[in-house]
Chains A and B, each alone.
Chain A
């Protein structure tokens, strides 16, 4: 075991993992975290706590992670390279580990231009691949990036993202290979809508033997409305929403688009359960936490396994 986190245990035991996501509030009310978390309790193996997502200031991801632990749940602490340098990252990792965080997701981060402080200085002292390597070195060698020994090394289950849909497609599987080489334990992908392209990417990963070295969780975000689908297609960089997805939502009865979105997500999850090389699903129900129990139920992923 690398960290002994629940997510790691579930994956190592060969169960189909199911993870959720929670965006910390744009304020200092811890109750809001607890309220969102309550919807996810017992529904998922671990909850991603986003780190100033879309470059908007929010409660820090480690603090919200600690609140989640207080609720008896397991966070997957997201950390982006945009907002802190290697010193701050390592000290945050030590602190988060000391307070019980056992999973980490290493990300580059959306460019600050998207957020509420567009002229902030983007740090990017290291990138996501170098961050993976840093967390691994802290865990496996017990050393800081600078080379000094760590008194009690933090032992994280190390995650990263993969976007099979961003250009150049041919390079994406090689980028996955680089993350594995850097030491990643698990991958959560970008929201998948283009199943054909995703199947192709997973096939490439299988052919290269990569899926034997890393757990891949397929990213699923149910569409809440036709408007959301159109927005994601046209405005979210690196997102691939094919026309057939738009058409299906368009074809839904009035007021039934959300229902159709959930139905589509469940169909995807069924396919991922059978897909070679896929170890689980990461459900990103954006500002839709209260629908997670229903989605989990309908996707047939309940009850969640308990692994000792």
Chain B
């Protein structure tokens, strides 16, 4: 899932400064699962903002609406009927959802209430860890299911570097060395030959905005043509 972290209250307050009527839009998918931007968190943030603005003697009228997925046009339509009442929209979705909302309502300022942080896994309740950088060229098949792009602090394709320290990364004793894990995993599987060959320089495919059209589907304008 995409994991996000709520911005500090002061930063959010600063973003919506000057607006008297704001709609806070949550997202019911990834950010809800990671306890950051679902219906419940929208309610909590709104209560905090109302209280803070009241104490500043600058009351705010803040609405709440949580859609199933902010990254899906179909679900955003539910907001059409209400957005007109507001001066600004606060979004608690990931960066993709925020941008999609801004694209749908270009006349209204859409402001982020969260920092989108990573694509990760749920280690325990409230505990998430990054696992994927969406590089577009997955090499997990060669690296024992451990991603060096994400888990190696230098993103090395031919690790481990000389900084491995008792199985940990040179950046921290709390950060396991990705290449140490790769070695251990592959050694256990008898597959060390996977990393004996040199990995060629990467063709970085994430340097431009990416899109994907599945086979059999076309962009709307191509269909019209």
Contact = CB atoms under 8 A, between A and B. Distances in A.
Contact of A238 (B155, B157, B164, B187): B164
A113 B169 CA distance: 12
A181 interface: yes
Contacts of B187: 170
Interface string A114-137: 100000001011111110011000
Contacts of A255: none
A175 interface: yes
A52 interface: no
Interface string B27-55: 00000000000000000000000000000
A122 B163 CA distance: 15
A171 B187 CA distance: 10
A190 B155 contact: no
A130 B164 contact: no
B163 A238 contact: yes
Q: Which of A82, A113, A171 has the most CB of B within 10 A?
A: A171
Interface in B134-161: 153-161
Given A113-B171, A166-B164, A190-B162, A124 B204 contact: no
Interface residues of B, number: 30
Interface string B174-186: 0001001001100
B75 to A, nearest CB: 35
B117 interface: no
A237 interface: yes
Interface residues of A, number: 37
Contacts of A145: 201
Contacts of B159: 127
Given A166-B162, A166-B163, A110 B170 contact: yes
Contacts of B157: 127, 130
Interface string B184-210: 100100001000101111101000000
Contacts of B166: 167
Contacts of A114: 170-171
B122 interface: no
B198 A133 contact: yes
B154 A122 contact: yes
A127 B154 contact: yes
A39 B200 CA distance: 41
A160 to B, nearest CB: 10
Contact of B156 (A108, A133, A190): A108
A163 B170 CA distance: 13
A199 interface: no
B198 A128 contact: no
B214 to A, nearest CB: 31
Contact of A167 (B165, B198, B204): B165
Given A111-B170, A174-B196, A82 B154 contact: yes
Those 10 A-B pairs whose CB atoms lie nearest each other, nearest first: A163-B162, A237-B170, A129-B158, A166-B164, A237-B165, A237-B163, A108-B161, A127-B156, A130-B201, A167-B164
26 contacts: A113-B171, A122-B153, A122-B154, A124-B154, A125-B201, A127-B154, A127-B158, A127-B159, A128-B161, A130-B157, A130-B198, A130-B199, A133-B198, A166-B164, A166-B165, A167-B164, A167-B166, A167-B177, A167-B180, A168-B164, A168-B180, A171-B183, A174-B196, A175-B158, A178-B158, A181-B198
Given A108-B161, A133-B198, A171-B160, 12 more contacts: A81-B154, A108-B162, A128-B158, A129-B198, A130-B200, A166-B163, A167-B160, A170-B187, A175-B158, A178-B196, A237-B170, A238-B162
